[in-house]
Amino acid sequence: MYKVPSGISNKHLHVSERDLKILFGENHELTCKKMLKQPGQFACEETVDLAGPKGTLKRVRVLGPVRPETQVELSLTDARALGITAPVRESGKLEGTPGLTLIGPEGTVELDHGVIIALRHVHLSDEEAAEAGVSDKQMIRVKVEGERGLVFDNVLVRAGKAHSAEFHLDTDEGNAAGLDNGVMCELLP
């Protein structure tokens, strides 16, 4: 039996260098608010507003470091509040996704794509994956115990040097299981 801690992901975005400059100013650099469990990843002080056809979500956290392409990650509830039909996708798989408007303190970016509901996934280092008996890109199940315990199907394994053991799911999924961050969850083949 191999267990990893849960990491519940609230709505957030990753920005490209180009969009960072538009939203926050030409020479702006992201400011670390808190390091995240994944190596080199951090929550930023910076936030933006997200505007869709039906509404706006205020003060959505930017995560760093900058990425080659801007990506917005929402829960299904968030997407519906904005009036967007976002697909469930692996991070970085943005082709054919909807866009929205990003509103920063210095400017606005009209995304024509880049909004997803992140596919639930488990991060593991190469050593952790070997110990758990799973491999990168494998689809597994994850069992959550407790009063609202359940088994999540279709969990993507993301294994490699840039990963550390953590089960990532969004707020809708975490709430369905009554989960808090750091609760140990069992990996099932």
- Find out whether 9 and 171 touch, Cβ atoms under 8 Å: yes
- Find out whether 184 and 7 touch, Cβ atoms under 8 Å: no
Omega into 65 within 30° of 0, i.e. cis? yes
Q: Is the pLDDT of residue 189 over 90?
A: no
What tens digit of pLDDT does each residue of 125-167 get? 999 999 999 999 999 999 999 999 999 999 999 999 999 999 9
